[in-house]
Structure formats: C-alpha cells, structure tokens
Amino acid sequence: MTPGARVSAAIEVLDAIAGGLAAEQALTRWARQSRFAGSKDRAAVRDHVFDVLRQKRTAAHYGGSEAGRALMIGMLHGQKADLDALFTGEGHAPMPLSEEERRFPQTPEDRATNLNLPDWLLPLFDTALGEKADAAALALQERGPICLRVNTARIEVAAAQELLAEDGVQTRANPLTAAALTVTEGPRRIRNSRAFIDGYVELQDAASQAVVAGLPLGGRVLDYCAGGGGKALALAMDPSRQITAHDIDPRRMSDLPLRAERAGVEISIADREQVVADGPYDLVLCDAPCSGSGAWRRAAEGKWTLTPDRLTELTGIQDQILDAAATLTTAQGVLAYATCSLFREENEARVDAFLTRHPEWKATRMDRFDITSEGDGFFVAQLTRD
Ligand SMILES: C[S@@+](CC[C@H](N)C(=O)[O-])C[C@H]1O[C@@H](n2cnc3c(N)ncnc32)[C@H](O)[C@@H]1O
C-alpha cells in the first residue's frame, strides 16, 4: 500500500469508530476486508488510528470536525506532514484537500484542547497530579513504550536479552524494576521469538511489573481480579508463593493456564465459592477495574468514552472489591490495592474510604507511578490490620 492508501484506510477505520465500533474491532474488520494489506501496512494504519485517538481534540480542531478525513488531516497537519504528498487522489490515496480544508485555524488557546482532554477531566488531572498534570496529559499523546518482563524464575535478565537479540529484538534495562526490559528494536518480532515462545519473557508494562515487585514474598496469594493474568504470572516468579487467580468474569482468565504453562509456573484458578472455602490468604491483590487513565496511551478511546457516571460506578465497584477482599485476608496478611488510574477518586480516595469503613486497617504504603517513557501510570497501596 502507498502512504496515501494507508491514510485512506485509517480514515475508513476512524469513520467506523465514529459509527460505534471499538477501535480494535474496526481495525480487525478493515484487516479482514483488506487481504492485500501486509503486516507493515496493518501496523501503519493502526499507528495512524491510535495517533489520532490520542490527539483527537487537536486533530478535530485543525481538521474542522470529527469525521475520519478531518481527523486525519488535522492530525497530520499538527505533525507537519506533507499533506499534498498524501492526499493526491491517485490510486487509493484520499482526494486532494479542498480550499476550505486548507484554511487551518490558529493553534488552540484553551488548555483542555491543547492537552487533548475532555473539559471535565482537567480538574481531575489537576487534583491528582498538581504541577505534573500537564506533563501527564502530554505524555498520553505519545506512544507508550513496549516492555517485557523477564521470567527470572527461569532465566537471568542478561541471558534473556541475548536470546531476544538472536531473534532481532533489541532491549535495554528499564529502571522501574530489575526484571523489566524496554524494547528498542524489533517489537513486532517478539511473539515469534524463542524467548517469548519458550516462556522466558512476557509482554508487560514496566510499572505494572513494579507494582508486583513491591509486594511481600512467599505465602498463599490470591490475585482477586486476575483478568488475563499479567500480575498473577509476575507474582508467580517467586517460587515460595502459592498463587490462586480469581476473576468475576472467568472468561478473562481463559489464556492463563496456557501462559502459566509456557512460563513454567503453577497458578490455580478458582471461582468465588472456592476462593472463600480456601481462604484466607497471606496476600490478596486487587488489581481493580478502573478508568485505565494511566494506560490511555495504549487504549486512547477510554479518554473520550469515560463519563462522570461511569467513574462513579467504577469507584463503587472498587469499594465493593476492597470490602470483599479484606474478608479473604489473614489477620497478619496484606491487602494490596492497585489501579492503572491517575485519578485521586480511584486511588487515595478509595483507600481513605476503606479505612473509614474499616478503622481496624491501616495503609502501610502508597505508591504512584507517573506516566513516563519507561512505563504507564499506576497506583498501589498496601493495607494491613492494626
Ligand atoms: C484491571 S483488570 C485486571 C488485569 C490483570 N490483573 C492483569 O494484570 O492482567 C480488572 C479485572 O477485574 C475484574 N473484576 C471486576 N469486578 C470484579 C469483582 N467484583 N471481583 C473480581 N474481579 C472483578 C474484571 O473482570 C477485570 O478482569
């Protein structure tokens, strides 16, 4: 595909998203209908679409509307791309820009547009992050790093780096935690690399790894909101832990047995009844459902689809999860609460509300991970009984 044809494809996908499809669905549907597109074409179209979603407000400002074509024009104008070289009307390239489309407005003046945030989120960023708010919002406009977790139960970090390099995946150490690597070259080769197939490395954000790396070692551990099992697998790198994974939606854990087998670790999967029967546990991790705002570089739609009502609903769920998980924690045990949210409402405020409801508990640690070129935004608190 020519660069212009890739832009046309991105416009088609953006229109499908505007019509109600989720970004991943829209991309998959386009890829199925476009068998001629190679893997580089698919990656380029995907990059265009996610670049726009991360910067949708400025793209709409420059492009004049939220239609796919306008968003692409606005985003590429913001990137100072040569629009006339892409919008040629030749082959599958989009039609040349009209006179009206060439009349670009001045740089936006209001802060929310410049930061590519909906207005209502600005105060939440300010409350949670203070003087770091703008930097966090700007970081959300960039692509996130691709990170790996070395399965240190089975291989040393340097040996894993060598193995990856043999398959064309170059990495560097990530400062957030010892087992984390940042991929500097060959990210698309990871899934076919020996290191990945043989379970020596897993794809996992470095801050997500750091959350787990700070938890106590050993004992009986319950990952109460295990989802795909990223944190359960990271917990399992400590062979002295006995891990149980649970999720209200067991389908989310469907890949976990295979991933555990690949990693050479044991993780039991349990439903709520079994978890209650087998409890209490020395460590209960609640990696709670949240806005995902710390990871909006990777799932940029969330920034535009989150609503105040949904946020309130999420905080209610987070409270319920903490209350339920507390009853599953031993008297001397640790209850860990984590989110990939930036917002106070989902983080410190949930811990405060829990401590008000349960005065016999105290917070022994609270850590925030900023969104950086090393990892996503995360929050983790460790709670124990007095
Ligand atoms: C942030 S995701 C977990 C991600 C996962 N820990 C990882 O690292 O890959 C949150 C998970 O919580 C689950 N969940 C939502 N409500 C729950 C509840 N009341 N009890 C247990 N799990 C719940 C969701 O189904 C979702 O899979």
124 is a domain residue: no
One domain for residues 242 and 268: yes
With a 6 A CB cut-off, is 287 part of the ligand 1 pocket? yes
63 is a domain residue: yes
* Residue of the CA atom closest to atom 6 of ligand 1: 226
Domain boundary among 203, 234, 269: 203
Residues 177 and 213: beta-carbon distance below 8 Å = yes
Residue spans of beta strands (DSSP E) within 97-214: 147-150, 170-173, 180-185, 201-203
240 is a domain residue: yes
- Residue 228 CA, ligand 1 centroid: distance in Å: 9
What is the value of ipTM here, to two decimals? 0.99
All residues at 6 or more sequence positions from 108 whose CB lies less than 8 Å from its CB, including other chains: 57, 58, 61, 114
334 is a domain residue: yes
Nearest atom in ligand 1 to 247's CA: 22
One domain for residues 278 and 190: no
Nearest atom in ligand 1 to 339's CA: 1
Residue 296, pLDDT score: 97
One domain for residues 156 and 75: no
Please report, for the domain that includes residue 306, its CATH number.
3.40.50.150
How far is Cα 183 from Cα 181, in angstroms, rounded to an integer? 6
One domain for residues 190 and 282: no
- Alpha carbon 144 to its chain centroid, in Å, reads 9
Bridge partners for 49 per DSSP? none
One domain for residues 190 and 239: no
Residue set of the binding site: 247, 271, 287
Domain boundary among 100, 115, 131: 100
Bridge partners for 181 per DSSP? 148, 173
- Residue 104 CA, ligand 1 centroid: distance in Å: 44
Nearest atom in ligand 1 to 320's CA: 19
Percent of the residues in the chain that have a pLDDT greater than 70, as a whole number: 100
110 is a domain residue: no
One domain for residues 304 and 235: yes
137 is a domain residue: no
The tally of domains found in the chain comes to: 3
One domain for residues 198 and 226: no
Annotated catalytic, 340?
A: yes
pLDDT tens, position by position, 339-358: 999 999 999 999 999 999 99
* Residue of the CA atom closest to atom 17 of ligand 1: 248
> What's the pLDDT band for 310 if we cut at 50, 70, 90?
very high
How far is Cα 204 from Cα 109, in angstroms, rounded to an integer? 37
With a 6 A CB cut-off, is 250 part of the ligand 1 pocket? no
One domain for residues 186 and 231: no
Domain boundary among 73, 100, 127: 100
With a 6 A CB cut-off, is 248 part of the ligand 1 pocket? yes
With a 6 A CB cut-off, is 317 part of the ligand 1 pocket? yes
One domain for residues 196 and 272: no
Domain that holds residue 355: 217-385
One domain for residues 96 and 16: yes
310 is a domain residue: yes
How far is Cα 26 from Cα 16, in angstroms, rounded to an integer? 6
With a 6 A CB cut-off, is 31 part of the ligand 1 pocket? no
One domain for residues 226 and 318: yes
120 is a domain residue: no
One domain for residues 274 and 313: yes
With a 6 A CB cut-off, is 292 part of the ligand 1 pocket? no
pLDDT tens, position by position, 217-268: 999 999 999 999 999 999 999 999 999 999 999 999 999 999 999 999 999 9
Nearest atom in ligand 1 to 229's CA: 9
